[in-house]
Structure 1
């Protein structure tokens, strides 16, 4: 065992899904902050992400990182018509809960709790899983998101009809599909590159 392995911080995994701010430990070496090239810094889009080991792992392939981040920003921060921000975040949290990605679920559950009128639904989703007792609108959103997540061909006309019945128009349904599909991919990427770390968090 090397000195580096001995001195490596112990990762304490979270014991349950949470809205608490938890950490993430990479299994691959991130690009060191001082070693980031101009191209890699540009790919981060937001200069503050230089502090994130996750984004500095992705910076090994700056072209993919930049495309990924621009897509993420357009799905979740686009202020135009469509699904309200809180429900885009709720769909991402549901996808992450279904996939078992505790880190992503924590991030998007916090956003959903901030933007939704009833944050108790977010907590029920985290506590009870995707089968939680939810309002009709959120039930339809979770059912559609998890169908897409399980396997895209499971998502069908019945899900679209259920979403329309609870008030989603075509643009809102498209936003839901994009948020769910993106995080289905993002969860798998994060789960394959590292692990959540609750060290220092009361979990």
Structure 2
């Protein structure tokens, strides 16, 4: 599957995840949110509860920490741009929905999905998208010019740090998800 969408789609693992009935208290603690037990991705990662817990705590701090920094909409934008660049259709769909919801700019988010990371955007979003894709490139292309562009777009040090963390985390998370399975449009996730 290669079509980027804001629709809910599923994900199919290539390795066998744990069955929900196999989960112990340690697994539920690692999931942080019991609702994740319905996700094949999290059930697969639950095979190593300590790593899953560390991954989930990092994810939560990047996206749900409201102590200043980048607004949630733009953290989700960074994750969407990263997912678009890596080709992770599943993650792009999830984070595009959040970016649309929190920014109230669904058309701009859809343009990113449809036309790619070089699609026209306003200056602030352009700086965030450019920094995200530069961090995602292999080898990384991110440099002082991206920090300067983020700063010129009005981001302070904490907001710049949040943009970098969101893109870097999702660069890793996308590559993990892409190596463990594939998007599934026949079931929602």
Residue from 167, 172, 175 that aligns with 1:180: 167
Q: Could you tell me which runs of 5 or more consecutive residues in structure 1 were left unpaired when the two chains were aligned.
A: 1-12
Quote the residue 2:71 is aligned against: 84
Quote the residue 2:61 is aligned against: 74
Query: 2: CA distance between counterparts of 1:97 and 1:151?
Result: 15
Residue from 116, 119, 123 that aligns with 2:110: 123
The farther-off stretch of 38-47 and 148-157 is: 148-157
Query: 1: CA distance between counterparts of 2:3 and 2:85?
Result: 13
Query: 2: CA distance between counterparts of 1:21 and 1:200?
Result: 9
Q: How much does 1:40 deviate?
A: 1.1
Query: 1: CA distance between counterparts of 2:173 and 2:45?
Result: 12
Query: 1: CA distance between counterparts of 2:187 and 2:18?
Result: 25
Q: Could you tell me which runs of 5 or more consecutive residues in structure 2 were left unpaired when the two chains were aligned.
A: none
RMSD: 1.2
Bigger Rg, structure 1 or 2: 1
The farther-off stretch of 67-76 and 115-124 is: 115-124
Residue from 22, 26, 33 that aligns with 1:46: 33
Query: 2: CA distance between counterparts of 1:152 and 1:67?
Result: 26
Query: 2: CA distance between counterparts of 1:118 and 1:200?
Result: 27
Q: How much does 1:38 deviate?
A: 1.6
After TM superposition, the structure 1 = structure 2 runs for residues 27-46 of structure 1, keeping only pairs within 5 Å, are: 27-46=14-33
Quote the residue 1:154 is aligned against: 141
Q: How much does 1:154 deviate?
A: 1.7
Contact 2:4 2:113 in 1 (8 A): yes
Q: How much does 1:122 deviate?
A: 0.3
Give the match's secondary structure for 1:154. coil
Residue from 45, 53, 60 that aligns with 1:58: 45
Contact 2:10 2:187 in 1 (8 A): no
Give the match's secondary structure for 1:24. strand
Tell me the matched-pair count. Answer: 188
Quote the residue 2:119 is aligned against: 132
Query: 1: CA distance between counterparts of 2:175 and 2:35?
Result: 24
